[in-house]
Amino acid sequence: VQLQASGGGSVQAGGSLRLSCDVSEGTLDSYTIGWFRQAPGKEREAVSCINPAADTKYYVDSVKGRFSLSEDGAKRTVYLQMNALKPEDTAVYYCASSPRIRSLSWAICRLAFAFDVWGRGTLVTVSS
- Supply the pLDDT for residue 64: 98
Give the strands of the sheet with 3-6, arranged side by side: 3-6, 17-23, 77-82, 67-72
The 8-class DSSP code of residue 120 comes to B
- Supply the pLDDT for residue 97: 98
**Digitized pLDDT (tens) for each residue of the chain, 128 residues in all:** 999 999 999 999 999 999 999 999 999 999 999 999 999 999 999 999 999 999 899 999 999 999 999 999 999 999 999 999 999 999 999 999 999 999 999 999 999 999 999 999 999 999 99
